[in-house]
Structure 1
Amino acid sequence: MSQRSPNTTDERTLALLVFVRSHFPDAPPPAIASSDASARRYWRLRLTNGDTRIIMDAPPPGEDIRPFIEMQERLTAAGVAVPNIFERDTGQGFLVLEDLGDCTFFQWRHGHSIDTVNARLEEAVRLLAAVARTETADLPRFDTAMLNREMDLFVDWYIARYHDTPFNAEQTARWQRLRDEISTRLQTMPQGFVHRDYHSRNLMVQDDRLVAIDFQDAVRGPLPYDLVSLLRDSYIDWPEELVSKLQAVFWQQCPPDLREAWSLEQMRNDFAWVAVQRHLKVLGIFARLSIRDGKHGYLKDLPLTWKHLQKALAQLPELSGLTELIAPLGPKDQGLTG
Structure 2
Amino acid sequence: MTALSKKDLGNSGISEFLIHELGAKIEVYPLAGDASARKYFRIVRDQESFVLMQWEAFKSLSDYPFTNIGSHFSKHNVRLPKIIGSRPEEGLLLLEDLGDLTLERKFWESRNQEDSLNFYEQAIEQLIKIHYPSTADRDENCKAFQIQFDSEKFQWELNYTKQHLIEGLCRIQLSDTEKKQLNNIYLEIADRLHEEDKFISHRDYHSRNLMIKLGKVNVIDFQDARLGPIQYDLVSLLKDSYVNISKEIESHLLNHYLDLRTQYITKKINKDAFDEVYQLQTIQRCFKATGSFASFYQTRGDTRYLHYIPDTLTTVLKALDHFPEFSFLKELILRDEVIGVDYNSL
TM-score (norm 1): 0.91
- Asked if 1:58 corresponds to 2:55, the answer is yes
Structure 1: which amino acid aligns with 2:115? T
Aligned to 1:82, which of 60, 80, 83? 80
Deviations 1:275-315 (A, max 9, x none): 11111211111001012122210001112211111111112
- Asked if 1:315 corresponds to 2:312, the answer is no
Structure 2: which amino acid aligns with 1:95? L
Q: Is the 8 A contact 2:81 2:220 kept in 1?
A: yes
Indicate the SS of the match to 2:240.
Answer: coil
- 2:121 is aligned to 122
Q: Is the 8 A contact 1:87 1:96 kept in 2?
A: yes
Q: Is the 8 A contact 1:3 1:33 kept in 2?
A: no
Q: CA deviation at 1:29?
A: 4.1
Q: CA deviation at 1:139?
A: 3.0
Q: Is the 8 A contact 2:309 2:343 kept in 1?
A: no
- 1:8 is aligned to 7
- Asked if 1:30 corresponds to 2:28, the answer is yes
Deviations 1:123-177 (A, max 9, x none): 2223221110214543311111211111111110001111011322111111111
**1:55 and 1:162 mapped to 2: Cα distance?**
35
Q: CA deviation at 1:5?
A: 1.9
Q: CA deviation at 1:259?
A: 6.4
Aligned to 2:312, which of 305, 310, 313? 305
**Closer, same or farther: CA 101–272 of 1 in aligned 2, 3 Å:** same
**2:67 and 2:4 mapped to 1: Cα distance?**
27
Aligned to 2:302, which of 286, 295, 298? 295
**1:180 and 1:218 mapped to 2: Cα distance?**
23
- 118-127 or 166-175: bigger deviation: 118-127
**1:321 and 1:110 mapped to 2: Cα distance?**
35
Deviations 1:225-253 (A, max 9, x none): 11110100011111112212222222222
- 1:161 is aligned to 168
Gaps of 5+ in 2: none
Q: CA deviation at 1:3?
A: 6.3
Q: Is the 8 A contact 1:27 1:45 kept in 2?
A: no
**1:166 and 1:44 mapped to 2: Cα distance?**
46
Indicate the SS of the match to 1:100.
Answer: coil
**1:316 and 1:18 mapped to 2: Cα distance?**
57
Gaps of 5+ in 1: none
Structure 1: which amino acid aligns with 2:156? R
How high is the sequence identity, in percent, across the aligned residues?
Answer: 26
- 2:221 is aligned to 214
**1:219 and 1:225 mapped to 2: Cα distance?**
11
Structure 2: which amino acid aligns with 1:35? G
Where do 1:178-197 residues align within 5 Å? Answer: 178-197=185-204
Q: Is the 8 A contact 1:198 1:229 kept in 2?
A: yes
- 168-177 or 37-46: bigger deviation: 168-177
Q: CA deviation at 1:266?
A: 1.4
Deviations 1:309-330 (A, max 9, x none): 1111112223223212332121
Count of residues in Structure 1 that have an aligned counterpart in Structure 2: 332
Deviations 1:2-49 (A, max 9, x none): 56525725646x3222322232231334110221101111101112x4
Indicate the SS of the match to 1:86.
Answer: strand
**Closer, same or farther: CA 92–77 of 1 in aligned 2, 3 Å:** same
**1:254 and 1:314 mapped to 2: Cα distance?**
28
**2:118 and 2:270 mapped to 1: Cα distance?**
25
- Asked if 1:333 corresponds to 2:342, the answer is yes
**2:270 and 2:263 mapped to 1: Cα distance?**
11
Q: Is the 8 A contact 1:237 1:304 kept in 2?
A: no
Deviations 1:74-130 (A, max 9, x none): 111111101001111222211000000011011123443432212322222232211
- 2:177 is aligned to 170
Q: Is the 8 A contact 1:276 1:309 kept in 2?
A: yes
TM-score (norm 2): 0.89
Q: CA deviation at 1:272?
A: 0.6
RMSD: 2.2
Q: CA deviation at 1:331?
A: 5.5
TM superposition outliers: structure 1 runs of 4+ over 4 Å = 9-12, 256-259
